[in-house]
């Protein structure tokens, strides 16, 4: 057994913080994730770095904010070589490759915690979604690489990149990622090196219609009324319109819940194999989503770009987060309510691996080891605010309040989360809250002044929520044509 712990890092796509049975959505079946939570620590106030996939994933790996790594929106280009795809006769049925030109490694020249793990002797393997550019090329310490061409794929006809080649599979993508991960898990467990195995599911991202998911899971929710889910009119700024709007409520929720339960079954296969191999006690198991998700919450069917201008509602910016590692967390069910962020993952995972990395001294995140151990944590020990961004939209979140600032003109928002946890009453113009708004804006701007790279400042980029076509600073006039229109 390796002296250092192994890592099983499970990342989902568009899973809201509420989307676990153990988080209170009782009609959602997630027995294996509940089992994992019962054997570790679940954080119920865990935030992503940006409420959309590519920026959030880049921040997880680098420990830096979007305005430091330059990925500000989901990557609409730079994933594959369009000419190569045409020569191979491969067409991604999930949106095609119309916007692709040439591969771009968006994190080139940046340090990730997987780089640090590899330098320390870890074998790093990825089975699942990458969506950070140049999908054909293993990057940042990964020596095993099984992914998809773009950021999304149909569940039953994914375009799979395997060992430098690409082909269309006629299989359920959630199972494919698990099958490959299990093959590698068996192999890696026999090696002398510790391993970091990343399993990045596309679930529960859309599409949600019945034909995309196994009938057994669709049928499980066919008669479900989804009593814990909101049922309200579409938000006036909703960008998804009737496609994923409230009039499609049952179809949306049935497919979304089916995708999660199908994924949960595959997580169960991973956990069972870890136990069978005798690796559970020496493996850090991490489960989280890249960003949150509104499924009718606030009348929105999406995450941060489910509206225009982009939103920072709790369901969009919070994600489920579970970590189990018996030597540190013990084996009892424990819930941590203190504020934490995906920016904390870089220092936390290296701490757990016993790796000292100078990079952690300049990152905004802090190690979560005290919380994982169950030690009392005071405001003096940790930052008491969470900051988040999506292009020109920025948020500061304290234990009791949330302030949202939209550069350059607004509209801005302020919520008292003690009396209004549902964020229904915007206090930004309330005279009694003027001083609080000013103080939070100052806090927000001071924080970003410390961590922003001025050349990659998202508040000055043309980020619309409809995708990034190149490196930061290189948005084109063409993006203006894709500016979302408000849904009437």
Sign of CA dihedral 483, 303, 400, 459: negative
Q: In 3D, which of 229, 233, 253 has the Cα closest to residue 315? A: 229
Question: Could you count the other beta carbons within 10 Å of the beta carbon of residue 219?
Answer: 12
Summarised one tens digit per residue, pLDDT across range 408-453 is: 999 999 999 999 999 999 999 999 999 999 999 999 999 999 999 9
Note whether 147 and 135 are within 8 A (CB). yes
- pLDDT for the residue 485: 38
Q: How many domains does the chain have?
A: 1
Note whether 466 and 73 are within 8 A (CB). yes
User: Any idea what the CATH number is for the domain that residue 240 is in?
Assistant: 3.40.720.10
| C-alpha–C-alpha distance, residues 148 and 129, integer Å | 6
Q: Is residue 146 included in any domain, yes or no?
A: yes
Beta bridge partners, 302, equal 294
Q: Is residue 461 included in any domain, yes or no?
A: no
Q: Is residue 466 included in any domain, yes or no?
A: no
What residues have CB less than 8 Å from 380, skipping those under 6 apart?
none
User: What does pTM read for this prediction?
Assistant: 0.95
- pLDDT for the residue 82: 81
* Helix/strand/coil for 181: helix
Sign of CA dihedral 182, 186, 189, 191: negative
Cα distances (angstroms) measured from residue 186 to each of 118, 179, 307: 19, 11, 44
Rg (CA), the chain: 21
Q: Is residue 430 included in any domain, yes or no?
A: no
What residues have CB less than 8 Å from 274, skipping those under 6 apart?
8, 185, 280, 283, 285
- pLDDT for the residue 107: 97
Note whether 47 and 386 are within 8 A (CB). yes
Q: Is residue 244 included in any domain, yes or no?
A: yes
- pLDDT for the residue 412: 98
Strands of 283-289's sheet, edge to edge? 165-168, 159-162, 142-148, 123-128, 195-200, 6-12, 283-289, 321-324, 41-43, 334-336
| C-alpha–C-alpha distance, residues 149 and 127, integer Å | 13
Residue ranges, the chain, pLDDT below 70: 1-2, 378-384, 473-488
Range of the domain at 160: 6-383
Summarised one tens digit per residue, pLDDT across range 130-166 is: 999 999 999 999 999 999 999 999 999 999 999 888 9
End-to-end, the C-alpha distance of the chain in Å comes to: 60
Q: Is residue 417 included in any domain, yes or no?
A: no
Element (H, E) at 182: helix 173-189
DSSP letter assigned to residue 204: T
- pLDDT for the residue 383: 56
| C-alpha–C-alpha distance, residues 368 and 41, integer Å | 11
- Which runs of consecutive H residues, i.e. helices, occur in 307-460? 314-317, 326-329, 345-353, 369-373, 434-451
Tokens standing for 329? 């967390």
């Amino acid at each position: 057994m390796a002296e250092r712990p192994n890592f099983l890092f499970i990342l989902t796509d568009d899973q809201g913080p509420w989307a676990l049975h153990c988080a209170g959505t009782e009609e959602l079946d997630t027995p294996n994730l509940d089992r994992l939570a019962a054997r570790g620590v679940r954080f119920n106030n865990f935030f992503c770095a940006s409420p959309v996939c590519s920026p959030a994933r880049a921040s997880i790996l680098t420990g830096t904010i979007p305005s430091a790594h330059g990925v500000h929106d989901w990557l609409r280009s730079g994933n594959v070589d369009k000419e190569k795809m045409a020569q191979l006769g491969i067409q991604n049925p999930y949106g095609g490759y119309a916007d692709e030109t040439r591969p771009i490694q968006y994190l080139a020249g940046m340090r990730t915690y997987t780089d640090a793990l590899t330098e320390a002797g870890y074998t790093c393997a990825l089975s699942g979604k990458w969506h950070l550019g140049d999908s054909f090329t293993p990057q940042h310490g990964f020596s095993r690489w099984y992914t998809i061409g773009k950021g999304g794929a149909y569940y039953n006809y994914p375009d799979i990149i395997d060992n430098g080649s690409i082909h269309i599979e006629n299989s359920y993508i959630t199972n494919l990622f698990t099958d490959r991960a299990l093959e590698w898990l068996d192999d890696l467990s026999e090696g002398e090196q510790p391993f970091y195995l990343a399993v990045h599911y596309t679930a529960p991202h859309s599409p949600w219609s019945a034909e995309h998911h196994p009938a057994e899971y669709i049928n499980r929710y066919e008669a479900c009324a989804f009593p814990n889910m909101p049922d309200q009119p579409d938000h006036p700024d909703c960008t998804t319109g009737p496609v994923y709007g409230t009039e499609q409520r049952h179809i949306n929720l049935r497919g979304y819940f089916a995708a999660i339960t199908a994924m949960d079954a595959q997580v169960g296969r991973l956990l069972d194999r870890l136990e069978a191999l005798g690796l559970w006690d020496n493996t850090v198991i991490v489960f989280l989503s890249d960003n949150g998700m509104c499924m009718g919450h606030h009348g929105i069917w999406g995450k941060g770009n489910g509206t225009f201008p982009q939103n920072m509602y709790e369901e969009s910016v919070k994600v489920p987060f579970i970590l189990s590692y018996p030597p540190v967390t013990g084996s009892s069910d424990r819930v941590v309510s203190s504020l934490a962020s995906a920016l904390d993952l870089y220092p936390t995972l290296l701490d757990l691996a016993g790796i000292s990395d100078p990079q952690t001294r300049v990152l905004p995140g802090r190690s979560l080891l005290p919380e994982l151990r169950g030690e009392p944590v005071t405001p003096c020990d940790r930052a008491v605010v969470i900051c988040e961004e999506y292009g020109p939209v920025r948020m500061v979140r304290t234990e009791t309040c949330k302030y949202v600032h939209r550069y350059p003109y607004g509209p801005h928002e302020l919520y008292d989360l003690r009396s209004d946890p549902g964020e229904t009453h915007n206090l930004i113009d309330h005279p009694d809250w003027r001083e609080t708004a000013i103080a939070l804006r100052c806090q927000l701007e001071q924080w970003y002044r410390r961590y922003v790279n001025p050349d990659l400042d998202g508040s000055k980029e043309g980020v619309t929520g409809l995708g990034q076509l190149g490196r930061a600073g290189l948005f084109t006039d063409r993006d203006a044509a894709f500016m979302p229109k408000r849904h009437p």
